């Protein structure tokens, strides 16, 4: 197998130094290991602009969805009602979770290429006073659209609602000040913009909210409150922790800080995304999302013509050491290219040349 670079939105291409951290087997109850967990929890709060007095970080085994489900399952009580605002597959996944858990919810959805309309959300909240919680996806990885997190957070604050943000594919690459925005729960995972490997997710939660979650969970494993109470003592995880992934993640955070933090990473991703979109446009690929709504994370491209065969295209590009992602839309033929991870300008230029050659050969 040739060693390709991932241009997918997680798992993504990680640095060798992050991978090297996994060559040593660590003990879960050892003090040095527990200190890594505590260090990560503290650093994540700093990245989020959140004070330790008001917020805490909970690390949770599993992929990102486990974190979202743990929050829904633990934060929304029997008397509560959740408004899910959705414009993509990850918003729809929240709806599926709500159904599965059996929480009281309503969904407001908008088309995949449109951002969530603040006035319409306001209208729903004004009409339905039973709504206590709001859930939204920041960057909808389905399309790459970026939702107006500040506007929705302001509205939620104004109306005294509890806000849950799936910031899976944006946290670490797009500045979010969790405390100033008044976000109550923010969920992200190890294998996205912090550039770690898959295996756990994390939740940045307002302590005041978390304290009210005791006893809400109908799941033992996805009980956010219990996970927090255990981890908060000394960094020992409740149940086996993904030790290799945690060590790699700790290194990945250090590398994010070395790069210059979220601002510098945002810059790199933005430039790569801009380069990608422009070069591909000149080759004949249109992006599905309008430029002003496009995130610097992942881009959805429309097939250039009827003859375009994604499987063939994918193999051609893979043989030349890059891996792309299929589309996630039902009504239009698309594919996606992620530009997060250990990816630089040279990689994007190389990729665009390969794609250009493919189109010329066809």
Ligand X SMILES: *Cc1c(COP(=O)(O)O)cnc(C)c1O
The residue ranges that bind ligand X (CB under 6 A) are: 9-10, 63-65, 90, 137, 141, 166, 168-169, 189
CA 121, CA 300: separation in Å to the nearest integer?
A: 26
Residue closer to ligand X, measured from CB, 337 or 352 = 337
Half-sphere exposure of 344 (CA within 13 A, CB side): 3
At 129, is the secondary structure helix, strand, or coil?
coil
Residue closer to ligand X, measured from CB, 83 or 193 = 193
CA 244, CA 277: separation in Å to the nearest integer?
A: 35
Least distance from C-beta 189 to ligand X, angstroms? 5
Least distance from C-beta 318 to ligand X, angstroms? 21
With contact defined as beta carbons under 8 Å apart, do 151 and 94 qualify? no
Least distance from C-beta 169 to ligand X, angstroms? 4
* Cα separations in angstroms, 7 against 143, 240, 276: 15, 31, 11
Residue nearest to ligand X (CB): 64
- Structure-token pair, residue 188: 């992200």
Cis before 223 (ω within 30)? no
- 188 — phi, psi (to 5°)? -150, 180
Least distance from C-beta 354 to ligand X, angstroms? 25
Least distance from C-beta 168 to ligand X, angstroms? 4
Least distance from C-beta 161 to ligand X, angstroms? 21
Task: Indicate the length of the chain as a whole number.
Answer: 362
Q: For helices 149-158 and 118-127, give the axis angle rounded to 10 degrees.
A: 20
Residue closer to ligand X, measured from CB, 143 or 156 = 143
């Amino acid at each position: 197998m040739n060693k390709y670079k991932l241009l997918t939105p997680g798992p993504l291409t990680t640095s060798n130094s992050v991978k090297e951290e996994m060559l040593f087997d660590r003990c879960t109850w050892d003090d040095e290991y527990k200190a890594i967990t505590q260090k990560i929890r503290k650093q994540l709060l700093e990245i989020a602009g959140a004070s330790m007095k008001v917020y805490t970080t909970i690390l949770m085994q599993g992929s990102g969805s486990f974190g979202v489900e743990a929050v829904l399952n633990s934060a929304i009580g029997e008397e509560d009602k959740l408004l899910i605002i959705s414009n993509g597959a990850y918003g729809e996944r929240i709806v599926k979770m709500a159904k599965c858990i059996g929480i009281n919810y309503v969904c407001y959805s908008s088309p995949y290429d449109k951002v969530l309309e603040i006035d319409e959300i306001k209208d729903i909240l004004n009409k339905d006073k039973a709504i206590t919680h709001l859930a939204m996806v920041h960057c909808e990885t389905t399309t790459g659209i970026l939702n107006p997190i500040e506007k929705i957070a302001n509205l939620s604050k104004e109306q005294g609602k509890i806000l849950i943000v799936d910031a899976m594919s944006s946290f670490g690459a797009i500045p979010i000040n969790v405390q100033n925005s008044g976000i109550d729960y923010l969920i992200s995972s190890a294998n996205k913009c912090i550039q770690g490997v898959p295996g756990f997710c994390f939740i940045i939660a307002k302590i005041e909210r978390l304290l009210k979650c005791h006893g809400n969970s109908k799941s033992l494993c996805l009980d956010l409150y219990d996970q927090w109470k255990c981890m908060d003592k000394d960094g020992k995880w409740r149940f086996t922790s993904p030790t290799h992934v945690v060590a790699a993640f700790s290194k990945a955070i250090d590398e994010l800080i070395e790069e210059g933090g979220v601002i510098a990473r945002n810059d790199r991703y933005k430039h790569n995304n801009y380069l990608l979109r422009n070069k591909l446009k000149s080759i004949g690929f249109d992006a599905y999302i309008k430029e002003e709504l496009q995130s610097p994370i992942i881009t959805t491209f429309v097939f250039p013509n009827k003859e375009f065969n994604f499987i063939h295209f994918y193999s051609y590009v893979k043989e030349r050491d890059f891996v792309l992602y299929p589309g996630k839309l039902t009504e239009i033929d698309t594919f996606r290219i992620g530009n997060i991870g250990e990816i630089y300008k040279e990689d994007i230029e190389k990729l665009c040349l390969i794609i250009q050659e493919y189109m010329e050969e066809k």
